[in-house]
Amino acid sequence: MIRRVYYKLLQIWWSISVPFRLRALGVRLGNGVQFLGMPIVSMSRGSTIQIGDRVVLCSDSRFTALGVNHPVVLRTLRQGAEIVIGDDTGISGGTICAAERVTIGKECMFGANVTIADTDFHALKPEGRRFNNNIQDIGASPVTIGQNVFIGTGAAVLKGVKIGNNSVIGAFAIVTRDVSSGTIAGGNPAKFIKNLQ
């Protein structure tokens, strides 16, 4: 009983404090967004993060069966970068980093600790790689995830990938190529496994 009351008080606190903090950073929040824990959010100047209606962001292991390794991380890395999360999507301890654009459709489910990044973060050419911050040398390409996509725990979706509607990505998959609608893909690198119908 005491635990239930404590958890309810936590949820009330997060429902007040998190939206206030995120709006102060410039995040656009839809109606009924639910926060279970405090996400980590940072935005480059001139970038946008848009979170749709009734999205659930779980950053606290007490509120998801598998637990999370870290809070939800939403990060834009360059001017003009965008993160768009569609209505009714749920993310548990996921990391989303956008140098250009990451778009997530409606009604998606992300298992614990999913990573989505549209950039290599560092230059690939070896000369001066450690200190090379020239964006011309750092690969980036938008990521698009369709509607009603289920991405299993620990999966990573890398730059330039498009995942079609109603697809499933297996746990710990590394997605480097497009995934067709209505299919299951898994493995490293992720490959077609079967059609869902």
CA distance 79 to 127: 26
Residues forming the active site: 122
Name the one residue in this structure whose structure tokens are 């299951």: 184
Residue 6 has pLDDT above 90, yes or no: no
**Which of 111-115, 129-133, 163-167, 171-175 comes out lowest in average pLDDT?**
129-133
CATH number at residue 100: 2.160.10.10
Note if the pTM is more than 0.85: yes
Overall number of domains in the chain: 1
Q: What is the 3-state secondary structure (H, E, C) of 111-137?
A: CCCCEEECECCCCCCCCCHHHCCCHHH
Over the chain, what is the mean pLDDT?
Answer: 95
The range of the structural domain enclosing residue 144 comes to 2-195
